[in-house]
Amino acid sequence: MSSVHYKFSSRLSYDVITFHGHNISLRELKRKIMARERLKVANCDLQILKAETSEEYPDDAQIPKNVSVIVKRVPARTPNLAEANAAEEDKIKAMMIQSCCYYEPLK
């Protein structure tokens, strides 16, 4: 079993995510951390940094096993409705759906 040690920048100690193989994709690592920490995708996104250099991993990165990373919560990226190429009625519907995302119960 391979592992990645992670900690949020506000915490003192590291937690561990385990996986099979020699590396894990950044997307899968974020998914596992969010599930373990019970974070909702609609509320935030995660920024993953190399613990040694504070350099951010690119979106297509493969994180090697036995590495330590720093995790930061960042606001979720939502599309800019004002600049969307859609009818005004569709923009209003999308805004109403997005405004309710924070209030959905955990599944």
Nearest partner of 37 among 12, 82, 64, 71, judged by Cα: 71
Residues 107 and 68 in one domain: no
Q: Which pLDDT value is given to residue 107?
A: 45
Residues 14 and 52 in one domain: yes
Residues 85 and 62 in one domain: no
Residues 35 and 58 in one domain: yes
Residues 86 and 97 in one domain: yes
Residues 89 and 64 in one domain: no
Q: Which pLDDT value is given to residue 69?
A: 97
Number of domains in the chain: 2
Residues 47 and 61 in one domain: yes
List all residues 6 or more positions away from 82 whose beta carbon is below 8 Å from its beta carbon. 91
Residues 19 and 68 in one domain: yes
pLDDT digits (tens, 9 = 90+) for 51-97: 999 999 998 999 999 999 999 988 776 766 667 787 888 878 877 77
Domain carrying residue 24: 2-76
Residues 23 and 54 in one domain: yes
CATH classification at residue 37: 3.10.20.90
